[in-house]
Amino acid sequence: MYDVVLLTLGSERDAPGACGSGGACCGGATGADTAPTGQTDAGQPSSGQAEAEKCATERPRVPVLACADALNARGARVETITARSDAEIDAVLARFDGPARPDGLTWPDPDSKTRLVVATASDGQLRAVLRRLVKRYAPAPSKRPADLPGNRTLPDLPPVAVLPLDPARGGTHRDLAAQLGLPRDPAAVAAAVLDGTPRRLDLLRNDGGSVTLDGALLGAADDAGRPLHWRARVEVDDTILTDGAEPLLACAVGNAGGYATLDDVTLLTAPDPADGQVEVAVAVPVVVRSAWGRKRVRLEVRRARGRAVSVLPREGKVPYLDDGVEGELTRKRSWWIEPGAWAVWSS
């Protein structure tokens, strides 16, 4: 029977100094382009709680206890862990290391009898764990082994099971578990862990040292909800969607469908987290004249699909959401696809 680690993170934060970036709380962000201090993973103010309050010890939530009970009832050996730092996440992930290799690389064990369940209150928390997996197993370019697929920079990461801690959200934005059709009931999650099969999915890495599971939406609105104009050069492989001379209202970088629509505008038409491509769209306001010479503004959406995308801001800071986590882009950011790099346990 399997050993199962049921991992929860100690805070919903994804801010500078958070878990995933080397700090004390969990949620995780890296690089200079991160969520501003004082914002939670869901984009809500932290109200200036003291650090001890933000990382206070919590009792496991009901879904965690119910999942552990269901696993125990099936004979699995279950350990429930709350991680509050990168080091504590890394200690859990080290259990998935394979045998020593001649080249000295740390590599996941494809035959591991340990299985991981990540209890998530947000996609940002799941991303924090995947970021640490990438950090652990991605070799430096100078140490790239011959057995690594040519279209990848890291090996197949160990599968994870996702235990959503909150009910499925309504509206247009659904969390990744809902988009993938993963079970939300703790007993069903336990069954997927013990009886299911790995479903391999694409991963977006970026040159800021982070990863994206769902997608990113760049742009912002004013206090009245009106979209603000900004400029950036956006390229997908060899296709230039905009050179930065014209104003933009939004840019969507999609691995899955969380940012497929913006209000009533369709940005991404067919994002697929397992097709080996990233879909990108920009929304450009265009002035047109009617037959009577009257001017009006229509929204032109330009799309492209490919292996990599780059966004180069032309002026100021560009706000964005990446897997639901707020940040500001101040320099060029590139994302590239890692086909089938991560996996979820699916029934």
pLDDT in tens, 293-308: 676 778 899 999 999 9
User: What pLDDT score does 1 carry?
Assistant: 72
User: What pLDDT score does 173 carry?
Assistant: 62
Instruction: List CB contacts of 294: < 8 A, sequence separation 6 or more.
Output: none
pTM: 0.84
Q: Give CA–CA dist 5/341, Å, rounded.
A: 21
**Token pair 């991680």: residue:** 83
Give one DSSP letter per residue of 274-286, joined into a string.
TSS-EEEEEEEEE
Structure tokens at 255: 């691995």
Q: Is the dihedral of CA 323, 123, 213, 94 positive or negative?
A: positive
pLDDT in tens, 142-153: 999 999 999 999
User: What pLDDT score does 264 carry?
Assistant: 86
User: What pLDDT score does 22 carry?
Assistant: 36
User: What pLDDT score does 291 carry?
Assistant: 65
* Pairing assessment for the beta strands 215-218 and 211-212 based on DSSP bridges: unpaired
Give one DSSP letter per residue of 244-263, joined into a string.
SSS-BSEEEEESSSTTSEET
Integer CA distances (angstroms), 70 to 74, 112, 117, 251, 254, in order = 7, 21, 13, 43, 35
Give one DSSP letter per residue of 304-337, joined into a string.
EEESEEEEEESSS-EEEEETTEEEEE-S-EEEEE
User: What pLDDT score does 325 carry?
Assistant: 92
Query: 55's torsion region: left (phi>0), alpha (psi -120 to 50) or beta?
Result: alpha
Q: Give CA–CA dist 28/35, Å, rounded.
A: 10
Residue 15 phi, psi (nearest 5) = -135, 165
* Nearest CA among 111, 162, 133 for reference residue 6: 162
Structure tokens at 2: 């399997």
User: What pLDDT score does 16 carry?
Assistant: 36
User: What pLDDT score does 11 carry?
Assistant: 63
- With a cut of 50, list the residues of the chain below it in pLDDT: 12-57, 170
